[in-house]
Amino acid sequence: MLTRNSSAEANLLKVIPVIDILGGKVVHAVRGRRKEYQPLRSRLCSSTNPLDVAAAFRKLGFSTLYVADLDAILGGKANLPVLRDIADKTGLELMVDAGVDSLKKAERLLENHVSKIIIGTETLPAISLVSEVISQLGNEKVIISIDLMNSQLLSRLSTASPMQPMAFLQGLQNAGVTQVIVLDLARVGSGEGVDVHFISEARRKFHGAVFVGGGVRGISDLLELKKMGIAGVLVATALHSGAISVDELRQLKLLT
């Protein structure tokens, strides 16, 4: 586990490629407007088959893959056979958001060879689920995604007033969560850059590993996040467009 007090680990940043699956195919996610998502067009792979895209990333030297199973997140059936196939045939460590809203769904992901379960605030029905999943499966297997849209927390939780992201983050830490993702859906696929102010504040307040997704433009963003002690960065568009090259990542020791 990365901690703020570990200087050796504080400088470690992992670039994690992303695939978004919708209708069983890989799509290009832009600003969280899921009805407008189009099939992926990439310099790295000509296919929209999830296994083909994952295999392309593995061949380039990546060891971890983040998968957003939008079919499951939107209330449909999870692509479990696809996830298992990717894990078994590529050897990639999978971090998967498949709309987990119960312990049973979390367990099914592990049964299908997913390495880390992402529980997004967008689909989290109750904060008690976080404690339950951590208790049963271990906090090393669980990452909570702070899903944001225009700086507002996307959440199903019933509260008297809109929940503030930083207050929620503090609550997660108190509940024993050791890994979080700050995912800014409004910036996904936009190339507008990351929200440095919010991420910096989140990094100060949360003592575990902080991953970031949404808006990465290029190498300069990665280096800035590395200085902040971010554990990993989720990247899709910048890789597929060539804005970030694998050669650059290798030279900077960001490809692990």
Q: Which fold has domain 7-251?
A: TIM Barrel (3.20.20)
CB 81 within 8 A of CB 111: no
Q: Per-residue pLDDT tens for 37-71?
A: 778 788 899 999 999 999 999 999 999 999 999 99
> 174 in helix, strand or coil?
helix
Domain ranges of the chain: 7-251
Residues 6+ apart with CB under 8 A from 252: 219, 222, 223
Phi, psi of 150 (to 5 degrees): 55, 45
R_g over Cα of the chain: 17
What is the rounded CA–CA span in Å between residue 76 and residue 245? 34
Integer angstrom CA distances of residue 171 from 48, 81, 124, 135, 206:
38, 34, 14, 16, 10
Confidence at residue 39, expressed as pLDDT on a 0 to 100 scale: 81
Confidence at residue 3, expressed as pLDDT on a 0 to 100 scale: 44
CB 86 within 8 A of CB 51: yes
Alpha helical stretches, state H, the chain: 7-10, 50-60, 70-73, 80-90, 103-111, 127-137, 165-174, 196-205, 219-227, 237-241, 246-251
Integer angstrom CA distances of residue 62 from 83, 100, 111, 223:
17, 25, 23, 18
Question: Does pTM surpass 0.85?
Answer: yes
Nearest partner of 183 among 249, 222, 235, 245, judged by Cα: 235
What is the rounded CA–CA span in Å between residue 204 and residue 228? 9
CB 236 within 8 A of CB 29: yes
Residues of the chain with pLDDT under 50: 1-10, 160-161
Q: Per-residue pLDDT tens for 220-233?
A: 999 999 999 999 99
Alpha helical stretches, state H, 91-158: 103-111, 127-137
DSSP letter string, 63-95: -EEEEEEHHHHTTS---HHHHHHHHHHH-PEEE
